[in-house]
Amino acid sequence: MFFGAFLIGTLSEMMGRRRMLLLCVSVFSLTMLGAAWAPTPTLFGVLRFIGGLGLGGVIPVAAALTIEYSPPHRRSFNYGLMYSGYSVGILCAALIAMWLLPALGWRGVIGLGAVPLVAIPLMAWLLPESMEYLVGQGRNTEAQALAARTGTGQLQQGARPAQAVARATWRDVMSSIFSREQLRATACFWVALFFGLLLVYGLNTWLPTIMRKNGYDLGSSLSFLVVFSIASAVGGLFLGGAADKMGARGTVAFFYLIGSVAIGALMFRNSVIVNYLLVALAGVGSVSASLILTGYLAGHYPAHARAAATGWALSFARFGAMSGPLVGGYVAGSGLRFEWNFITFSLAGLAAALAVALLPRAGQQAIATRDSQEANA
């Protein structure tokens, strides 16, 4: 997924986002069938790697398409709605595995990962092409018709005219992400998402264990994880609506801070109801805040670099995703009191909030101006 996010995200700017999204879904679905069949661990690992390339490319491309085809006043909400499927899918995968594993075994459960192939023809029929790609190909009439149908107004200001470069080049994309004007914003986005995914994967891995150390039985500990997951999915819609009305930068920074405080408060002996509330706030202040931040990131960059910018940021954040379980394991095995688990993850949430707060205001104002121009064009 680390390689897939920046590789597929960047290629989609040059080859078309619709085509790459369909390819990604096909690749990770077919490799699930292959992994279920794999006769050796080596072949299993190779197929999982190839599947990870496809899976890693889905979110950057889907992010760019969602932002591109959402009216400016609904971008964060629509992005939260799109990404909530990710949280619901994780929960459903766990429930399906618990149900079918005894009957089908691990090969049967993994093989069910090919089910998305059924949706490919429907996706190919309903999914519109990227407006930026259509303009780059000189298909302005189609682009304008799509803009009118999706409620995004006239052709977007960031779109390059057809008589210019037919497709974005690697240099175009990279300069839009790493230019001197964008460097501060890029660094802040990357750092915030690093700590955001550290929180998400760290808490998903260690929350039941931490709560059990805090004196709760295993059943209650697992229920905390369920509350965390459900609150994350629902919270994405709430934060999306709030971000559209009050601004994504301030909303995300505030809820990262709320999540940090909620995680820290879990170290105290509260009632079960209070702890459920704190866990729910931790889910909203980690998963939901990170997904709305990803949508804000996709809208921050020019149209021809959205998917690539999202992919590169998520690839860097993948180090945070890998670090979360390791950090939790290190603290749990260090002999420190269990409170240090909460303190550590609370500090990660605080670091994410600080990174978002340091995002340049000028960039946000420029985005607001661009969105207003697009809406009124």
All residues at 6 or more sequence positions from 86 whose CB lies less than 8 Å from its CB, including other chains: 59, 291
Burial of 220 (0-12, 13-18, 19+ CB in 10 A): middle
Q: Which residue has the tokens 């059990």?
A: 212
Question: Which residue did the predictor score with more confidence, 209 or 242?
Answer: 242
Mean pLDDT of the region 113-142: 83
List, as own/partner pairs, every contact residues 36-39 make where C-beta atoms lie below 8 angstroms and the sequence separation is at least 24, other chains included.
36/107, 36/108, 36/110, 36/111, 36/113, 36/114, 37/107, 37/111
Task: Select, from the ranges 74-78, 235-239, 296-300, 354-358, the one with the highest average predicted confidence (pLDDT).
Answer: 354-358
Compute φ and ψ for 324, nearest 5 degrees: -55, -55
Query: Which domains are present in the chain?
Result: 2-174 (1.20.1250.20), 184-376 (1.20.1250.20)
Residues 145-171 have a mean pLDDT of: 56
Alpha carbon separation from 156 to 68, 105, 283, 358 (Å, rounded): 9, 50, 35, 28
Q: Is 160 helix (H, G, I), strand (E, B) or coil?
A: coil
Amino acid at 339: E
Identify the pLDDT of residue 269.
78
**Residue 40 zone, left/alpha/beta (φ > 0; ψ -120 to 50; rest):** beta
Report the range out of 42-56, 153-167, 316-330 with the highest average pLDDT: 42-56
Cβ atoms of 355 and 320 closer than 8 Å: no
**Taking 70 as the threshold, does the pLDDT of residue 373 lie above it?**
no
Whether residue 371 is predicted with pLDDT greater than 60 in this model: the reply is: no
Check residues 87 and 279 and name the one with the higher pLDDT. Answer: 279
Judge contact between 235 and 287, C-beta under 8 A: yes
pLDDT at position 334 is 83
Rounded Cα–Cα distance for residues 45 and 52 (Å): 10
With 0-12 CB in 10 A as exposed, 13-18 as middle and 19+ as buried, what is 74? Answer: middle
What average pLDDT does range 39-60 have in this prediction?
A: 93
**Position 340 pLDDT exceeds 80:** yes
Q: What is the mean pLDDT of residues 117-137?
A: 84
For residue range 268-282, list pLDDT tens digits in order: 877 888 888 999 999
Binning pLDDT at 50, 70 and 90, where does residue 315 land?
confident
Instruction: Write out pLDDT tens, residues 172-210.
Output: 777 788 888 888 999 999 999 999 999 988 888 888 777
Q: Give me the percent of the chain exceeding a pLDDT of 90.
A: 30
Q: Residue range 167-176: average pLDDT?
A: 71
pTM of the full structure: 0.76
**How much is the pLDDT for 212?**
77
DSSP alpha helices (H): ranges in the chain? 2-15, 17-37, 41-68, 75-111, 120-126, 131-136, 140-150, 170-178, 183-213, 218-246, 248-265, 272-283, 289-300, 306-332, 339-357, 361-376
Cβ contact 232:87 at 8 Å: yes
Which residue has better confidence, 171 or 206?
A: 206
Residue 162 pLDDT: 37
